[in-house]
């Protein structure tokens, strides 16, 4: 049995799930679904890995470098990775590209799904690697970089297989000419555009990287992954498993390579501008994302956006406030889908128990944040740690500003990691005259409450902001069907999805693979959406040949 046959049933389940958009995952998100000794083994692994050369990659190099710092420990983790020159990475990739492009779609599919099975066995290693590079809490590190990332990778493989097999690859074309038939043999090939580059981000080094990586590979292109210099270890594990499977199956392990650099001597632009790089996937800030999009090649970007919540009417304000507080506090707001701006009419908010004033609504939101932040167990576990010093400084500066603070940012103690860099969200009340502040992304645990004239004013402000700066999502709370339709139509017209009336375990941050499209590709937050058909088709060119 070859690898395609081994994983064919799972593949067809995944392809079906793409169409049905219902809940689907072959990778449980509960750590208890895995072997009992997996966590203990991973703790031993991370201890052995720190302060050593990373040995998992099949990449020959004379120099090893690394500069990752644990946001929880506030010390360098000491892991070093093989450093290759841009020229070596390119030449290795071009050579691997030749054979990978000629590999059948079935072989690619089987091999790539097999790599996800290998990655599944490393979920706990990846969890600790993610914790000590990004600052995500243990549970979030496990789920986001493990099962959820594998979901997104499988989604890209399934969409790739579906699109690459959409058309018949060979046919006999027969046209009746009266006394004779004109017969022409034809074939149709989805030709890969060529060597790809995937540029990772510091906060989600696996979840944001694997869609582009696996979409590139299933399309027939070799790929170079350039992780953020401060978040390498989690994706290095994934790449090492891919390289091992490639080698074991007789393929060039350089079909996937990792490019390592430092903050002081980056190589990202040199790689991105190299003429041999034909496609670039990027996740990060808008300034660099705009530069990537300007390159004369296929680009797939996820950039910054400013996500809004429109608060109109609710059934239970306490439940809503708690949900908003959790959404804004999860991983200290260091998620591209985290809400930043909450638009509330000066007329107040209608509830099932009557109308509450603007100030009463703000007080309820304040109570929601304080209830979470001050909880000795829920607070540290939800917040995690701040990944970058710049993010920590941004929060500190706003906390020290003269703006009207509803909730002050606090330094929360994590009993397990007493040196962890933690800052709870600062919540600031603004009015429409402060648009220069709330009209920009303030990455991290920062929330603005903006007083508006009425619901229509809230909608107009959210629309104007998303039109200019982009948004990945929008949260809305209304019990009125007319209001709901107004919000949905207005935001959808600028290609922003809306999550209505989320409470309990539903959070606007979470986008589920096989169901939710991450980004729409229709606004300034990014030019692509994973994983839709375009995410694959931009990487290939259909070429037909005819034989008479």
Three-state DSSP state, 424: coil
Same domain, yes or no, for 399 and 313?
Answer: yes
Query: Residue 436 sits in a domain of what CATH number?
Result: 3.40.309.10
CA distance 196 to 273: 12
Q: Please indicate, yes or no, whether residues 260 and 404 belong to a single structural domain of this protein.
A: no
Classify 138 in phi/psi space as left (phi over 0), alpha (psi -120 to 50) or beta.
alpha
238 plus 107 within the same structural domain = yes
Residue with tokens 């990287």: 209
Residues 239 and 384 in one domain: no
Contact 518, 212 (CB under 8 A): no
Report d(CA 258, CA 317) in Å as an integer. 48
Residue 316 and residue 214 share a domain: no
Q: Residues near 379 by Cβ (< 8 Å), separated by ≥ 6?
A: 372, 373, 412, 424
Rounded Cα distance between 91 and 185, Å, is 36
8/14 Cα distance (integer angstroms): 10
- CA of 469: how far to CAs of 286, 461, 464, 490, in Å? 9, 12, 9, 16
Tens of pLDDT, residue by residue over 45-57, are 999 999 999 999 9
> Tell me: the pLDDT tens digits for 343-365?
999 999 999 888 999 999 999 99
Would residue 514 count as lying in a domain? no
Judge if 290 and 312 occupy the same domain.
Answer: no
pTM of the model: 0.96
Task: Output phi, psi for 498, to 5 deg.
Answer: -120, 135
Q: Please state the separation of Cα 312 from the chain's center in Å.
A: 30
**Which pLDDT tens digit goes with each residue over 475-519?**
999 999 999 999 999 999 999 999 999 999 999 999 999 999 999
Query: Is-contact 190 166, C-beta < 8 A?
Result: no
- The number of distinct structural domains making up the chain is 2
Mean pLDDT over residues 417-429, rounded?
95
Q: Write out pLDDT tens, residues 25-44.
A: 999 999 999 999 999 999 99
Half-sphere exposure of 475 (CA within 13 A, CB side): 31
Q: Give yes or no: residues 298 and 334 share one domain.
A: no
Tell me: do 280 and 350 sit in the same domain: no
> Which residue, among 428, 95, 73, 54, has the nearest Cα to 251 in the 3D structure?
95
3 state SS of 390: helix
Judge whether 513 lies within some domain.
Answer: no
Tokens 């069907």 -> residue: 481
Torsion angle (degrees, nearest 10) of CA 40, 46, 49, 54: 110
How far, in Å, CA of 335 to CA of 511, rounded?
11
- 3-class DSSP assignment, residue 311: strand
In a domain, 39, yes or no: yes
Nearest to 357, CA basis, from 325, 324, 317 = 317
Instruction: Note whether 351 and 293 are same-domain residues.
Output: no
Collapse the DSSP code of 210 into the 3-class scheme (helix H, G, I; strand E, B; otherwise coil) and give the result. helix
pLDDT at residue 411 is higher than 90:
no
What does the alpha-carbon distance between residue 208 and residue 425 come to, in Å, rounded to a whole number? 24
> How far is residue 283's CA from residue 300's CA, in Å, rounded to a whole number?
9
Structural domain containing residue 50: 3-304+531-547
The percentage of residues in the chain with a pLDDT greater than 70, rounded to a whole number, is 100
Q: Is residue 515 part of a domain?
A: no
What is the DSSP code (8-state) at residue 186?
E
- Tell me, yes or no, whether 89 lies in a domain: yes
Residue 298: the pLDDT is 98
State the first-to-last Cα distance of the chain, in angstroms, to the nearest integer: 37
Report the residue count for the chain.
548
Q: What confidence tens digit (pLDDT) does each residue in 131-151 have?
A: 999 999 999 999 999 999 999
- Rounded to the nearest 10 degrees, the angle between the axes of helix 317-329 and helix 358-373 is 50
Residues 79 and 227 in one domain: yes
Alpha-carbon distance of 108 to 105, in angstroms, equals 5
CB 147 within 8 A of CB 523: no
Give CA 177 to chain center in angstroms: 55
Long-range contacts of 119-123 (CB under 8 A, 24+ apart): 119/146, 119/150, 119/153, 119/237, 119/238, 119/241, 120/27, 120/146, 120/150, 122/237, 122/238, 122/241, 123/27, 123/34, 123/38, 123/147
What local confidence, expressed as pLDDT, does residue 432 receive? 80
Q: Could you tell me if residue 526 is inside a domain?
A: no
CATH of the domain at 283: 3.40.605.10
- When pLDDT is averaged across residues 382-399 and rounded to a whole number, the result is 94
In the predicted model, what is the mean pLDDT of residues 84-113?
98
Question: 540: closest CA among 179, 192, 82?
Answer: 192
Cβ pair 439, 468 in contact under 8 A: yes
CA 520 to CA 335: how far, in whole Å? Answer: 17
Q: What residues form DSSP beta bridges with 53?
A: 80
Stretch (H or E) spanning 439: none
Per-residue pLDDT tens for 270-313? Answer: 999 999 999 999 999 999 999 999 999 999 999 999 999 999 99
Phi and psi (nearest 5°) for 314?
A: -140, 160
430-460 in b/e burial notation, b at 16+ Cβ within 10 A?
beeebeebbeebbbbbbbbbbbbeebebbbe
Tell whether 334 is covered by a domain: yes
Task: Assess whether 279 and 328 both reside in one domain.
Answer: no
- pLDDT tier at 377, thresholds 50, 70, 90: confident
Q: Look at residue 431 and tell me whether its pLDDT is greater than 90.
A: no
Q: How far apart are CA 511 and CA 497, in angstroms?
A: 11
Q: Express as a percent the part of the chain with pLDDT over 90.
A: 96
Which helix (H) or strand (E) segment holds residue 205: the answer is none
Ramachandran category for residue 284: left, alpha or beta (phi over 0 → left; psi -120 to 50 → alpha) = left
- The C-alpha atoms of residue 407 and residue 268 are separated, in whole angstroms, by 39
Residue 170 contacts by C-beta under 8 Å, 6 or more apart in sequence?
A: 185, 186, 187, 188
Residue 509 placed within a domain: no
| Per-residue pLDDT tens over the stretch 188-203 | 999 999 999 999 999 9
Q: Are 55 and 86 members of one domain?
A: yes
């Amino acid at each position: 049995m070859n690898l395609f046959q081994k994983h064919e049933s799972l593949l067809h389940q995944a392809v079906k799930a793409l169409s049905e958009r219902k809940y689907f995952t072959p990778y449980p998100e509960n750590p208890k679904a895995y072997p009992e000794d997996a966590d203990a083994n991973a703790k031993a692994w991370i201890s052995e890995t720190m302060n050593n050369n990373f040995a998992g990659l099949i990449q020959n190099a004379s120099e090893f470098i690394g500069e990752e710092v644990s946001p929880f420990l506030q010390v360098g983790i000491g892991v070093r990775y093989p450093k290759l020159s841009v020229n070596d990475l390119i030449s290795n990739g071009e050579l691997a590209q030749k054979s990978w492009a000629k590999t059948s779609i079935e072989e690619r599919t089987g091999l790539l799904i097999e790599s996800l099975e290998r990655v599944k066995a490393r979920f706990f290693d990846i969890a600790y690697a993610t914790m000590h590079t990004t600052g995500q809490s243990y549970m979030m590190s496990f789920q986001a970089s493990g099962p959820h990332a594998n979901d997104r990778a499988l989604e890209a493989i399934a969409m790739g297989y579906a699109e690459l097999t959409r058309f018949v690859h060979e046919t006999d074309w027969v046209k009746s000419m009266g006394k004779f038939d004109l017969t022409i043999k034809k074939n149709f090939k989805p030709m890969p555009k060529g060597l790809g580059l995937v540029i990772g981000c510091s906060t989600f080094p696996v979840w944001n990287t694997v869609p582009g990586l696996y979409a590139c590979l299933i399309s027939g292109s070799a790929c170079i992954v350039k992780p953020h210099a401060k978040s390498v270890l989690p994706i290095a594990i994934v790449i090492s498993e891919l390289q091992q499977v490639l080698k074991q199956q007789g393929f060039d392990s350089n079909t996937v390579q990792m490019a390592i650099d430092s903050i002081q001597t980056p190589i990202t632009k040199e790689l991105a501008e190299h003429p041999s790089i034909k496609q670039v996937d990027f996740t990060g800030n808008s300034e660099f994302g705009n530069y990537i999009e300007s390159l004369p090649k296929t680009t797939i970007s996820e950039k910054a956006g400013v996500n809004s919540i429109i608060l109109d009417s609710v059934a239970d304000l306490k439940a809503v406030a708690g949900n908003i507080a959790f959404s804004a506090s999860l991983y200290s707001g260091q998620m591209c889908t985290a809400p930043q701006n909450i638009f509330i009419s000066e007329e107040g908010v209608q509830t099932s128990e009557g109308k509450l004033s603007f100030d009463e609504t703000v007080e309820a939101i304040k109570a929601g944040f304080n209830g979470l932040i001050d909880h000795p167990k829920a607070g540290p576990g939800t917040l995690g740690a701040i990944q970058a010093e710049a993010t920590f400084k941004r929060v500190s500066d706003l906390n020290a500003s003269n703006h009207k603070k509803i909730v002050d940012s606090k330094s929360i103690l994590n009993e397990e990691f007493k040196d962890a860099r933690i800052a709870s969200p600062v919540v600031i009340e603004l009015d429409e005259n402060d648009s220069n502040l709330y009209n920009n992304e303030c990455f991290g645990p920062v929330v603005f409450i903006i007083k508006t004239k009425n619901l229509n004013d809230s909608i107009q402000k959210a629309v104007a902001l998303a039109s200019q700066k982009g948004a990945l999502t929008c949260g809305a709370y209304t019990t009125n069907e007319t209001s709901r339709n107004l919000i949905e139509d207005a935001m959808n017209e600028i290609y922003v999805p809306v999550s209505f009336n989320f409470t309990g375990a539903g959070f606007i941050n979470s986008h589920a693979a096989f169901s939710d499209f991450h980004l729409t590709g229709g606004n300034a937050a990014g030019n692509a959406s994973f994983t839709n058909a375009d995410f694959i088709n931009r990487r290939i060119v259909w070429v037909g040949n005819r034989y008479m």
